[in-house]
Structure 1
Amino acid sequence: MNFSIECEEEVDGRWIAEVPQLPGVLCYGETANEAMSKAEVLTLRAMAERLEQSESRPVEISISIPLAV
């Protein structure tokens, strides 16, 4: 399964990163890297939870992170 992280700066200066393939995986950070790191961690936690609850089967995953902004 392939995941991509989308990241953009909000008007208030915060950065927001989300993984569109996983509803609810949305994180804020003071920097783009911080927001993307939090989104990656949350993606892995969401996948682990799905596996633990037998909501998903083990699959190969790939996470694409945009180049540093």
Structure 2
Amino acid sequence: MKFSITLDRDEDGVWIVECPSIPGCVSQGETKQEALDNIKDAIASCLQVRAERSF
């Protein structure tokens, strides 16, 4: 499954990444690649929590 994300840098140079289709699914990283890796984990965690709550 693929999700769209947004990727921006804050004023301190930290990469902020968000998955708009999953409210509250946000992560960050010191590097762009770290932020992208982190959002993959965040998306998986958000989906797992949603699946557990649906039972």
Band the TM-score falls in, shorter-chain normalisation: 0.7 to 0.9
Unmatched tracts of structure 2, length 5 or more:
none
Q: Say what the alpha-carbon RMSD is for the aligned residues.
A: 1.7
Runs of 4+ in 1 over 2 A off after TM superposition: none
TM-score, with normalisation over the residues of structure 2?
Answer: 0.81
Unmatched tracts of structure 1, length 5 or more:
56-69
Per chain length, whose mean CA-contact separation is higher, i.e. which structure has more relative contact order (CA < 8 Å, sep 6+)?
Answer: 1
Q: Identity of counterpart residues, as a percentage?
A: 36
TM-score, with normalisation over the residues of structure 1?
Answer: 0.67
* Larger fraction in helix: 2
1:5–1:36 CA contact under 8 A, matched in 2? no
* Larger fraction in strand: 1
Aligned length: 55
